[in-house]
């Protein structure tokens, strides 16, 4: 008999934020909980003068990571391998400061890529991480930028892409939304508004707009209990004027204000939390698409090759990429009243964005053959809903 939480589960909601590494956002939690593989203050990178640039708890909400750190495939390769291109190279995570130096050629500024937030600065993310389940080993799927990483969340693969170019899926590996539709289930991508729109454009938004709604519709659907089986939420990607005035970007992509992202995460959580029936039957995953060039100390592990090959003209490293190594670690938190307080998912369990369609498919569709090799091998996360009785001590966020 499955645990009560899985038995009652009707909805999975994924909120994917932008471009922050695990250590940058949650690394400081290691000081109060040694089960969390974060920062102990000894980690460092050499800067371009050879001096040591240590991790420091000095991250600011805005203004510190401008220009945007490079997170193209080649830049992330430098961050992970520190310029070593030998066949036997080892991931040392020693090239972050050197990589950031290339953006402004300012040594002092380049050292800021090592800065991290203290828990008091991120009350929403920190509370969710300590109250529910935080993953020690959730990695981005590709050591590269946003769009190919997000593709793994939608399709379980990026179809051979390591960049943000236009791509089409093949006919075999269907999007998670199409799989659900084919089985009589429901899935939806909620983008913030039409001025922010979606990052999943050329395939789904162009051809299947029925899969999309706005964030206001998500709030309405939560209020009326009309949430689909699976929801994927995109934050606001730009500062722009709306009907009710200024709307701030909430994606936390540098150099957008991190506090606005905190408020957005809290708004998503509150929308689910405030509908008792929905809260009881929903699992919310908060995850970041990639690290955005910001320091993390855990070397990404090797993984099962994806079956695709990115050629040297795409990787721009002079080498092919066989999709046989994950990208840099990102924050990931699973929220549900059926998750035990203070759950820390161990270092022996590796997750990546292909874990999202893998989990949703397993939950709502069961056995499903046509998955990418990476998705077929990906860990799923609903086993973390372990409690026999629902918690009634979950926090609430006051957005004022």
Phi, psi of 71 (to 5 degrees): -140, 30
Among 186, 259, 380, 386, binds other proteins (CB under 8 A): 259
Task: Show the tokens assigned to 279.
Answer: 């809260």
- In the stretch 110-139, what mask flags binding to other proteins with x, by CB under 8 A? -------------xx--x------------
Q: Which of 235, 293, 222 is nearest to 262 (CA)?
A: 235
Interface with other proteins (CB under 8 A), residue from 260, 296, 306, 352: 260
Near other proteins by CB under 8 A, which window of 80-88, 249-257, 342-350, 367-375?
249-257
Q: Which is nearer to other proteins, 367 or 392 (CB)?
A: 392
Beta carbon nearer to other proteins, 124 or 233: 124
Q: Is there binding between residue 368 and other proteins (CB under 8 A)?
A: no
For residue 326, what are the CA distances in angstroms to 142, 149, 216, 390?
5, 10, 34, 35
Q: Does residue 169 belong to the site contacting other proteins (CB under 8 A)?
A: yes
Alpha-carbon torsion angle 14, 16, 20, 21, nearest 10: 40
Q: How buried is 376 (Cβ within 10 angstroms: 0-12 exposed, 13-18 middle, 19+ buried)? A: middle
Residues of 136-154 as b/e, b for ≥16 C-beta within 10 angstroms? bbbbbbbbbbbbbbbbbbb
DSSP 191: E
Q: Which of 44, 110, 203, 361 binds other proteins (CB under 8 A)?
A: 203
Stretch in the footprint of other proteins (CB under 8 A) among 48-56, 134-142, 168-176, 293-301: 168-176
Say how many residues touch other proteins, by CB under 8 A. Answer: 59
Backbone angles phi, psi at 363, to 5 degrees: -70, -50
Pairing assessment for the beta strands 187-191 and 230-233 based on DSSP bridges? parallel
Is the distance from CB of 29 to CB of 129 less than 8 angstroms? yes
Could you say which of 58, 201, 302, 322 contacts other proteins (CB under 8 A)? 201
Quick check: 280 binds other proteins (CB under 8 A)? no
- Regarding 249 and contact with other proteins (CB under 8 A), the answer is yes
Sole binder of other proteins in the list 197, 316, 379, 380 (CB under 8 A): 197
Tokens of residue 328, six digits: 């840099």
Question: Considering the rule CB under 8 A, would residue 397 count as an interface residue with other proteins?
Answer: yes
**Single residue of 195, 216, 224, 320 touching other proteins by CB under 8 A:** 195
**Strand (E) or helix (H) holding 240:** strand 240-242
> Strand, helix or coil at 188?
strand
Part in contact with other proteins (CB under 8 A); list of ranges 26-34, 81-89, 206-214, 343-351: 206-214
Q: Does 146 participate in binding other proteins (rule CB under 8 A)? A: yes
Give which of 299, 306, 308, 350 is closest to 84, Cα–Cα: 299
Q: Report d(CA 47, CA 31) in Å as an integer.
A: 26
| Closer by beta carbon to other proteins, 212 or else 381 | 212
**145 contributes a contact to other proteins by CB under 8 A:** yes
306 binds other proteins (CB under 8 A): no
Smallest gap from residue 319 Cβ to other proteins (A):
19
Q: Which is nearer to other proteins, 96 or 308 (CB)?
A: 308
Please say whether the beta carbons of 44 and 294 come within 8 A.
no
> CA-CA distance, 14 to 263, in Å (whole number)?
16
Q: Is 216 in the site for other proteins (CB under 8 A)?
A: no
Positions in the binding site for other proteins (CB under 8 A): 18, 61-62, 68, 123-124, 127, 145-147, 159-160, 164-171, 194-199, 201-203, 205-209, 237-241, 246, 248-249, 253, 255, 257, 259-260, 262-263, 266, 392-400
């Amino acid at each position: 008999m499955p645990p009560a939480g899985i038995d009652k589960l009707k909805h999975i909601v994924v909120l994917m934020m932008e471009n922050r590494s695990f250590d940058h956002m949650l690394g400081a939690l290691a000081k109060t909980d040694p089960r969390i593989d974060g920062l102990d203050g000894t980690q460092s990178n050499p800067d371009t003068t050879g001096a040591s640039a240590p991790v420091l708890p000095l991250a600011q909400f805005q203004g510190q990571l401008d220009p945007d750190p490079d997170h193209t495939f080649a830049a992330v390769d430098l961050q992970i391998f520190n310029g070593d291109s030998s066949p036997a190279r080892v991931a040392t995570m020693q090239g972050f400061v050197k990589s950031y130096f290339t953006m402004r050629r300012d040594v002092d500024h380049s050292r800021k890529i090592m800065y991290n937030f203290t828990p008091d600065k991120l009350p929403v993310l920190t509370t969710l991480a300590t109250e529910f389940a935080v993953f020690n080993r959730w990695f981005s799927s590709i050591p590269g930028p946003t769009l190919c990483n997000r593709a793994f969340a939608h399709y379980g693969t990026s179809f051979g892409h390591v960049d943000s170019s236009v791509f089409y899926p093949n006919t075999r590996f269907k999007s998670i939304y199409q799989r659900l539709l084919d089985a009589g289930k429901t899935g939806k991508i909620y983008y913030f508004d039409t001025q922010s729109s979606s990052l999943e454009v050329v395939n789904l938004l162009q051809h299947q707009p029925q899969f999309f709604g706005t964030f206001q519709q998500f709030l309405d659907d939560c209020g009326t209990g009309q949430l689909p089986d699976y929801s994927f939420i995109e934050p606001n990607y730009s500062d722009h004027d709306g009907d009710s005035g200024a709307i701030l970007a909430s994606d936390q992509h540098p150099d957008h204000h991190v506090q606005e992202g905190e408020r957005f995460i809290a708004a998503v959580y509150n929308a689910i939390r405030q509908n008792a029936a929905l809260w009881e039957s929903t699992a919310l995953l908060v995850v970041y698409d990639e690290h955005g060039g910001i320091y993390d100390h855990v070397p990404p592990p090797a993984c099962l090759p994806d079956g695709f090959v990115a050629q040297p003209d795409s990787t721009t490293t002079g080498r092919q990429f066989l999709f046989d190594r994950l990208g840099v670690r990102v924050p990931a938190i699973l929220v549900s009243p059926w998750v035990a307080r203070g759950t820390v998912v161990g270092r022996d369990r590796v997750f990546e964005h292909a874990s999202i369609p893998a989990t949703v498919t397993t939950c709502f569709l069961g056995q499903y053959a046509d998955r990418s090799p990476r998705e077929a091998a990906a860990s799923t996360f609903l086993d973390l809903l372990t409690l026999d009785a629902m918690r009634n001590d979950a926090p609430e966020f006051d957005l004022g």
